[in-house]
Structure 1
Amino acid sequence: MQCSQSPPSNIHSAPSQRRSTWLVTPASTPDRFEAAAESGSDVALLDLEDSVPPDGKKAAREAVIACLSQSGGSVGSGHTVLGVRLNALGTVHGLKDLEAIAESRARPAVLVVPKVESARDVEIVAKIIGAEDGQRRVWALIETPLGIQHLRTILKAPTLAGVLFGAADYAAAAHCRLNSRALWHPRSVLAAGAAAAGLPAIDSPHFDLRDSDGLKREADEAAELGYLGKVAIHPRQVPVIRESFGPTPQELATARAVVAAADAAHGEITTVDGHMVGPPLVAAARALTARAGDVPASTPFTEARSE
């Protein structure tokens, strides 16, 4: 398995909000690492937690450390960056995961901490792996009602790079059904809280691999709520997710027209196709064109919490 590639020069500077597709792969299956790297996802997330049985944790941890040491943070031949999901900090395996990464001095571009319920969880991980390089690598996986209740303080952690929603664990902890209606409230709270903090939020996976319509519906809902991406559990889900979080040709054309009109108006309110265009619409248009690869926008995600 070829995990090592020369890291692109912008591996740690690519904006978090551009990472809309996250493909999670069990760390116990290193033969799949290359396929994950070549899937076209923005993040290849190697999972040491739920997808690895207790008797496979040690071998999975060793496989991840080997991949991290070889890759330098990037994998595959494209823009994919390497991420790792630890076991929960309150477990023996979580502590061993963190110790192994710290001692290896290999640093994934993304380090996901599950079951986060306090800012202290984020700060412990950041301190142990060394945050002195100024790079925000630690992402908090919010997947309990207590995590939602403590969200405001969690989002204030200065080393936090972003948040993810964990639907399955949340539903189990809250004794509710795993469907979009039951989880609409925590999903909305997390997306709004992250936006207020100037941080990106990534939505939970859709777990039924046979239900492509359900995946598309969930991804569209997440984009409407303000999420900037979604986790995939199979490579074939990646294109569906990317479509939901990318602008349509018409949306992009309209946004470019708004930006052009605003630039020509030099800050004055103007119109585009008969519609009044004020500062909020201009800001939204600039953010959309920036996500599509146009000139960088001035948005909360680039100003408030730059990486």
Structure 2
Amino acid sequence: MTPAPFALGPALLFCPADRPDRFAKALDRADAVVLDLEDGVAPGAKAAARQAVVGTPLDPARTIVRVNPAGTPEQAADLAALVGTAYRTLMLPKADGRFVGPLVRDDGTPYAVVPLCETAAGVLAAPALAARPDVVALAWGADDLVASLGGTSSRRADGRYRDVARHARSAVLLAAGAGGKAAVDAVHLDLEDLDGLRAEALDAAAVGFVASLCVHPSQVPVVRDAYAPTPDEVAGARQVLAAAATAPGAFALDGHMVDGPVLMQAHAVLRRAGIDTWHDDEEVRR
């Protein structure tokens, strides 16, 4: 049985799994919450964090649990603790060739898995990970990646990603697209740099990411606004698709050539606006 396609986003908010007092608030503010049993929890607090995840249930349709890396005793304990819960989506940090799964729930169905490609091995393994039937999305991370290379900073002084991080971001996005899976953009750790976050989220939406990871509630509205098409973009997409409905093939509209890729981009704009144009042609003509 293959998990359903990834449909969460655009703002996915991390919440430390040892802070159950924040679980419901995080879920209320974001489109989905990532309960973090890995980096967000100190080693000595992981057992209590597992108990908190089990004892403070949330809506499983909007909850992802980030477990510890594959091959570690901590991940084995995480998976054992999740037996009997309703959670069905896992984020796997530092995913690479050690992820041999499938990871199966107690009822025999596979977990939906979001590998986090945040090491050199993980970025190179992205195509193989995207090809797995239990993988529903690929995410990536810059700071763990640079650390895995022996580096010290993923960003330049002006806040822009260094070239290796930009390459990894593109590689994971391409691997996800080639595998027919969703792609999730990395966190922006500078909490005061909301302009930088907005610029990255705008770019993420433009190139095909479906969501961005957030580490603070203040980032959620910025990400949501960036992923939402503007009224002008929606109107433009409607105009393109309405004109295409009566055109025999490629055509010119307002001095621009319109062909297959342009039509696909117009559909993508309206999907981001919550309009399923593939199944509701009348909606396009309104």
For Structure 1 versus Structure 2, the TM-score category normalised by the shorter chain is 0.7 to 0.9
Q: Evaluate the alpha carbon distance shift between residue 269 and residue 225 of structure 1 in structure 2; reply closer, same or farther with a 3 A threshold.
A: closer
Q: Which moved more, 1:288-297 or 1:186-195?
A: 288-297
Please tell me whether residue 63 in structure 1 is matched to residue 63 in structure 2. no
Q: Would you say 1:43 and 2:32 are equivalent positions?
A: yes
Identity %: 36
Once residues 18 and 134 of structure 2 are traced to their aligned partners in structure 1, the CA distance between those partners, rounded to angstroms, is 29
Q: CA RMSD in A?
A: 2.2
Flag the 1:109–1:162 CA change in 2: closer, same or farther, 3 A.
Answer: same
Q: Equivalent residue of 1:171, what SS? A: helix
Aligned to 1:73: 60
Superposition map of 1:115-130 within 5 A: 115-118=94-97, 121=99, 123-124=100-101, 126-129=102-105
Find the residue that maps to 1:38 and give its secondary structure.
Answer: helix
Structure 2 equivalent of residue 5 of structure 1? none
Task: Give distance in 1, aligned partners of 2:44 and 2:208.
Answer: 39
Amino acid at match of 2:133: P
Deviation at 1:58, TM superposition (A): 0.7
Unaligned runs of 5+ in 1: 1-11, 75-80, 299-307
Q: Deviations over 1:179-219 (max 9, x none)?
A: 11231111111111111111111111111112212222322
Tell me which amino acid in the other structure corresponds to 2:55. Answer: A
Corresponding residue for residue 184 of structure 2? 202
Selected match of 1:155 from 124, 130, 134:
130
Partner of 2:91: 112
TM-score by length of 2: 0.87
User: Residue 264 of structure 2 aligns with which residue?
Assistant: 283
Partners of 2:88 and 2:244 in 1: CA distance = 36
Check whether the contact 1:255–1:288 (CA below 8 A) recurs between aligned residues: yes
Task: Please give the alpha-carbon distance, in whole angstroms, between the structure 2 residues aligned to 1:108 and 1:196.
Answer: 28
Return the match for 1:260 from 225, 233, 242: 242
- Aligned residue for 2:43? 54
Deviations 1:250-307 (A, max 9, x none): 1111111111111232x52233223221111111111221221112448xxxxxxxxx
CA distance in 2, matches of 1:166, 1:223: 17
Structure 2 distance, partners of 1:291, 1:136, is: 26
Pairing 1:26–2:5 present: no
Q: 1:155 to 1:131 in 2, by over 3 A?
A: farther
**How far apart are residue 151 of structure 1 and its match?**
1.8
Aligned to 1:178: 154
What is the aligned residue count? 270
Q: Which residue of 2 aligns with 1:228?
A: 210
1:295 and 1:264, CA in 2 relative to 1: closer, same or farther beyond 3 A?
farther
- Judged with a 3 Å threshold, the aligned counterparts in structure 2 of structure 1 residues 209 and 127 are, in CA distance, closer, same or farther, namely closer
Deviations 1:231-253 (A, max 9, x none): 11111100111122221221111
What is the CA–CA distance in structure 2 between the aligned matches of 1:208 and 1:185, rounded to whole Å? 21
Q: What SS does structure 2 have at the residue aligned with 1:214?
A: helix
Are the structure 2 counterparts of residues 147 and 241 from structure 1 closer, same or farther at C-alpha, using a change threshold of 3 Å? Answer: same
Taking structure 1 as the reference length, the TM-score comes to 0.81
